[in-house]
């Protein structure tokens, strides 16, 4: 059960940069659309896509380091979990 809890925490940690970038940009674009009364769906999609890609590019090395460290921990704990 410990593996499942740690995996869920890792999932939250890894997805946080992209989700936060999409949240902030989506909120800003929605506010801009509400103020200017321009309701264009592509206006909301393209900035979010760019922000998520930028967040993943900036946080990529950290994300990869976290995943590698977690995978090493899981692989070394397999013998103790099995036997």
* Torsions phi, psi for 39 (to 5 deg): -115, 80
If one counts the domains in the chain, the total is 1
Q: Over the stretch 23-37, which tens digit does the pLDDT of each residue have?
A: 999 999 999 988 988
Q: Is the pLDDT of residue 63 over 90?
A: yes
Cβ of 21: how many Cβ atoms within 10 Å? Answer: 20
Q: Is the pLDDT of residue 18 over 80?
A: yes
Q: Return the percentage of the chain with pLDDT > 70, whole number.
A: 99
User: Which residues form the domain of 77?
Assistant: 2-82
pLDDT of residue 25: 95
């Amino acid at each position: 059960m410990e593996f499942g809890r740690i995996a869920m925490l890792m999932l939250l940690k890894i997805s946080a940069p992209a989700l936060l970038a999409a949240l902030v940009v989506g909120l800003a674009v929605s506010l801009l659309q509400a103020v200017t009364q321009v309701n264009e769906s592509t206006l909301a999609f393209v900035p979010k896509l760019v922000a998520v890609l930028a967040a993943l590019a900036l946080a990529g090395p950290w994300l990869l380091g976290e995943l590698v460290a977690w995978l090493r921990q899981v692989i070394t704990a397999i013998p103790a979990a099995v036997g």
